[in-house]
Amino acid sequence: MEAYYKDDVISVREWFITVLIAAIPLIGFIMLFVWAFGGNANLNKANLAKAILLFYVFIIALYVVMGLLFGSFYFIGSMFGA
């Protein structure tokens, strides 16, 4: 049996399966946390999972800022009867 190292090269098939699993709505989100912080995943897969989770945080923060910004425009417009 071949030894498994955490920094081995990941094959295209394994990347395909990884992206496919990450695309499943709730399961993928949970698996991203497992791969990112579980400690057993390949370093490349862990870094990818951390990057995707960071991207999710950025997008959610952007949605919150835009919601507050446009919500305040709506509130101010409704105050002045526009």
| CA-closest candidate to residue 57, choices 40, 23, 32 | 32
Under the banding of pLDDT at 50, 70 and 90, the label for residue 2 is: low
Matching residue, tokens 């990818």: 48
pLDDT tens for residues 15-44? 999 999 999 999 999 999 999 999 888 999
Q: What is the pTM of this model?
A: 0.79
Most confident of 3-7, 45-49, 78-82: 45-49
With beta carbons less than 8 A apart as the criterion, state whether 41 and 35 touch: yes
pLDDT of 1 higher than 70: no
